[in-house]
Amino acid sequence: MSFPVSFEFFPTKTPEGAAKHVGVRQALYARKPEFCSVTYGAGGSTQAGTFTMVRDIQNEGVGAASHFSCIGATHEKVRAELNELKAMGVKRIVALRGDLPSGYGLGGEFQYASDLVAFVRQGFGDWFHIEVAAYPETHPQAKSPRSDLDAFVAKVRAGADSAITQYFYNADAYMRFVDEVRALGLDVPVVPGIMPITSSTQLMRFSDACGAEIPRWIRLRLQAFGDDTASIRAFGLDVVTHLCEQLRSQGAPGLHFYTMNQSVATLEICDRLGL
C-alpha cells in the first residue's frame, strides 16, 4: 500500500515565479500527493496569492488545502473568505492562529486557532476537513509543554480532523507528543512536517524563528560545511531520509513536506524512501 505524502507551498510573488512553480508542482504531482497546501500570510498579506495558487492546484486535478490564519481578522472577513474557498470547491483547510507582523496590534475577533476551528465547524458543518498545527518541541510562545498540549487538545475538541507538525529533527519528540495525545484519548492523525535540509543559514534562521531545534550534532556539521552546498545537501539528504524512515517505521500516518517551493530535495527524499 502506498504511504500518504502531502506537499506545502507558499504563494509566488511574481509572474515569472508563478510560471516556474508550475514545473515544480508537476514534478511533485508524480508522487501522487494526498493534497498540496498553500500557506497564508497573517494580516492577509498573501491571501489573494494563496487563493490563486489553491485554485491552480485544484484546476490541475490535485486536492488543495488552503492554510488559513485568523489573528487580527474579524468574523465577517473570515466567513467571507471561507465562503470563497467553499465556492471554489476547496474541502480542506489548515486552520491557524498565525503570527502578526511586528507593529500590528492584536485586535481581531479570534485569539487562538481553536477559536477558528470552532467558528468553521459552527458555520460550515463538515464541509471542510480541518487540519491544525502541532508542536512536538512545544510552540515558542507556550507557557509550558503541558499548556501547549492542552491548546492542541482544545483544537481537536473544537473539531479538527487531523494535524500537521512543525518540523523537527528529533523523532523521539514526535513519538512522545503522539503518545501524550493518545493518552488523552484522542485518535486524530498527527502527520510529521518534514523540512528538507538544503541550506545552512536559511535553516538556522527559520528554526530560530519558529522554535524548531536543530540538534547540536547537525548544527555543527552544517556550520563546518561553510558554503559547500553540495556537502550540505548530501548530508541533509541522509539525515532527513533517516528521520522519515524512523517516523514511518514507528507508525507515522504520512509525511507532509515543507517544499520551500522547490522540488529537487523533496523528490530525492521520496526516491530514497521508495515513495
Ligand X SMILES: Cc1cc2nc3c(=O)[nH]c(=O)nc-3n(C[C@H](O)[C@H](O)[C@H](O)COP(=O)(O)OP(=O)(O)OC[C@H]3O[C@@H](n4cnc5c(N)ncnc54)[C@H](O)[C@@H]3O)c2cc1C
Among 112, 127, 206, 225, binds ligand X (CB under 6 A): 112
> Could you give the 3-state DSSP secondary structure of residue 130?
strand
Q: How far is the CB of 55 from ligand X (least distance, A)?
A: 16
Contact between 96 and ligand X per CB under 6 A: yes
- Please pick, from the candidates 73, 113, 156, 270, the single residue that binds ligand X as defined by CB under 6 A: 113
Between CA 120 and CA 113 the distance in angstroms is 11
| Smallest separation (angstroms) from ligand X to the CB of 166 | 4
Q: Does 93 bind ligand X (CB under 6 A)?
A: no
Residue type present at position 89: G
Shorter beta-carbon distance to ligand X: residue 94 or 243: 94
The catalytic residue among 8, 81, 131, 268 is 8
141 counts as binding ligand X under rule CB under 6 A: yes
CB burial of residue 82 (10 Å; 0-12, 13-18, 19+) = buried
- Going by C-alpha positions, the residue among 139, 132, 140, 161 that lies closest to residue 68 is 132
DSSP symbol at 42: G
Residue 8 annotated in active site:
yes
Q: Is 166 in the site for ligand X (CB under 6 A)?
A: yes
Q: Determine which residue in the list 5, 93, 164, 197 makes contact with ligand X, applying CB under 6 A.
A: 164
Q: Which residues of 26-55 are buried (b: 16+ CB within 10 A; e: fewer)?
A: eebbebebbbbbbbbbbbeebbebbbebbb
Among candidate residues 258, 239, 242, the one with its CA nearest the CA of residue 37: 258
Using CB under 6 A as the binding rule, whether residue 109 contacts ligand X is answered as no
Active site residues: 8
- Catalog residues that contact ligand X under the rule CB under 6 A: 39-42, 67, 69, 94, 96-99, 112-114, 133, 139, 141-142, 147-148, 151, 154-155, 164, 166, 193
